[in-house]
């Protein structure tokens, strides 16, 4: 019986070298677990896993790059010059897409190819300006609204009033009051667009404001600004990115809508809204429909890319989805 243990282990076919005795290490218990988890790296890994997101990212980057490269390419035409036939000195009106004018010309003889890229530049600039401005305003108001208790009642009341007016109506009214210009569009769209983001930020902050780690921070006297920036905002990255990414196609769409009503950018500035509107006026003749189809295609590709990318990024940046 006494000697039975060692031989029986061998008879089980186990290798005795597996049972080496470990050295006692007094420091081992002090070592903490190490993880090479990095928030942003995981976010990007999750993001790149989505094939559709990658596809639209490439398209969007290509379009963005091209709008800035295009004027530098050789042989490009000016987006605002009216071209004339040197032989007859007549304007090139409604020339079909071809060798000379790649996307054809419009009804007064301007090159549609150049106008589309110039218009895309304008519209993207508008979208980015409004998106970033809305993000800053929305975060500031949302964070104060959610964190500072004394502000909750008055800000909720203000929100309820503004939220009750249909966005379209408020936007039209603001654009009507101010003269049509780039600045008008930015101001009008920012004043209606920040509301949604502010509410999202506020709701999230109310939820996490009183968690223990924030109470602890407050107890040791961390300034409010630092609590908001360091403790609360990192939780909101996914919501904020989604709202901002969606506000860009939204802005481009509003621009088209306001242009239709006659409150858009001045007609001498090529923008996607102005191009779509010019195309709309002549859409009833099938031969000229290319003037509507080209700008709307570019516009749709851009808005769909932003939409898909925004959603994919928001999924990827949510730490609960990280493995």
Partner 1 sequence: MLRYSIKRLLQSLVTLFVVVSFVFLLMRLLPVEGYFGDRYQKMSEGEIEAGLQKMGLLDPWYVQLGHFYGKLIKGDLGTSYVYRKDVAITKIIRPRIPYSVSLGLAAVALSMVLGLTLGVQMARHKGKGWDKFGTVYIVLIQAVPLAVYLLFIQLYGSNLFKLPLLFDKHRFISWILPAVSMSLGGIGYYAMWMRRYMVDELNKDYIKLARAKGMSSKSIMVKHVLRNAYVPMAQYLPATILATIAGSIYIESLYSVPGMGGLLVDVIQRQDNSMVQALVLIFSSVGIIGLFLGDLLMALVDPRIKLVKSEGAR
Stretches 25-33, 141-149, 206-214, 306-314: which one binds partner 1 (CB under 8 A)? 306-314
State which residue, 93 or 280, has the beta carbon closest to partner 1: 280
Binding track, positions 149-188, relative to partner 1; x by CB under 8 A: -----------xx--xxxxxx--xx--xx-x---------
Phi/psi at 22 (nearest 5 deg)? Answer: -85, 150
Q: Is 50 helix (H, G, I), strand (E, B) or coil?
A: coil
Min. distance of Cβ 148 from partner 1 in angstroms?
23
Contacts with partner 1 by CB under 8 A: the residue count is: 36
Is the CB of 186 or the CB of 283 nearer to partner 1?
Answer: 283
Task: Indicate the length of the chain as a whole number.
Answer: 323
From candidates 257, 288, 318, 322, binder to partner 1 by CB under 8 A? 257
Three-class DSSP category at 56: helix
- 123 and 299 Cβ atoms separated by less than 8 Å: yes
Q: What is the dihedral of CA 118, 122, 128, 134, to 10 degrees?
A: -170
State which of residues 44, 233, 253, 282 lies at the interface with partner 1 (CB under 8 A): 253
The span from the CA of 216 to the CA of 231, in Å, is 11
Q: Please report whether residue 206 would count as binding partner 1 according to CB under 8 A.
A: no
Question: How far is residue 141 CA from its own chain's centroid?
Answer: 20
> Six-digit token pair at 30?
């002090």
Does 248 contact partner 1 by CB under 8 A?
A: no
Site for partner 1 in 262-281 (CB under 8 A): 262-263, 276, 280
Beta bridge partners of 84: 91
How far is CA 5 from its chain centroid? 68
Smallest distance, partner 1 to C-beta of residue 190, A: 16
Taking the least distance from each CB to partner 1, the nearer of 143 and 197 is: 197
Q: Nearest-5° angle of CA 285, CA 78, CA 264?
A: 60
Q: How far is the CB of 175 from partner 1 (least distance, A)?
A: 9
Tell me, rounded to whole angstroms, the distance of Cα 317 from its chain centroid. Answer: 13
Binding site for partner 1 (CB under 8 A): 160-161, 164-169, 172-173, 176-177, 179, 249, 252-254, 256-257, 260-263, 276, 280, 283, 289, 292, 296, 299-300, 303-304, 306-308
């Amino acid at each position: 019986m006494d000697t039975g243990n060692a031989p029986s282990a061998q008879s089980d076919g186990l290798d005795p070298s597996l049972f080496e005795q470990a050295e006692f290490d007094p420091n081992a218990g002090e070592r903490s677990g190490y993880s090479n988890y990095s928030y942003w790296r995981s976010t990007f890994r999750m993001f790149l896993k989505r094939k559709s997101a990658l596809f639209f990212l490439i398209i969007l980057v290509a379009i963005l790059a091209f709008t800035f490269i295009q004027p530098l390419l050789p042989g490009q035409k000016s987006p605002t010059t009216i071209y004339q036939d040197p032989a007859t000195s007549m304007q090139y009106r409604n020339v079909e897409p071809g060798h000379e004018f790649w996307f054809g010309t419009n009804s007064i003889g301007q090159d549609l190819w150049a106008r589309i890229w110039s218009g895309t530049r304008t519209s993207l600039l508008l979208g980015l300006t409004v998106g970033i401005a809305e993000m800053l305003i929305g975060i500031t108001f949302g964070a104060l609204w959610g964190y500072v208790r004394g502000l909750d009642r008055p800000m909720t009341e203000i929100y309820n009033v503004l939220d009750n007016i249909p966005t379209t109506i408020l936007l039209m009214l603001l654009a009507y009051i101010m003269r049509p210009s780039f600045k008008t569009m930015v101001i009008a769209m920012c004043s209606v667009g920040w509301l949604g983001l502010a509410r999202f930020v506020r709701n999230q902050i109310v939820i996490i404001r009183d968690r223990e780690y924030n109470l602890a921070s407050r107890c040791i006297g961390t300034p409010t600004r630092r609590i908001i920036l360091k403790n609360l905002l990192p939780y909101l990255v996914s919501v904020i990115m989604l709202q901002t990414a969606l506000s860009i196609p939204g802005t481009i769409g509003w621009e088209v809508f306001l242009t239709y009503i006659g409150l858009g950018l001045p007609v001498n500035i090529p923008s996607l809204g102005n191009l779509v509107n010019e195309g709309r006026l002549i859409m009833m003749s099938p031969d000229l429909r290319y003037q509507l189809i080209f700008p709307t295609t570019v516009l749709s590709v851009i808005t769909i890319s932003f939409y898909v990318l925004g959603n994919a990024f928001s999924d990827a940046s949510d730490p609960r989805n990280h493995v």
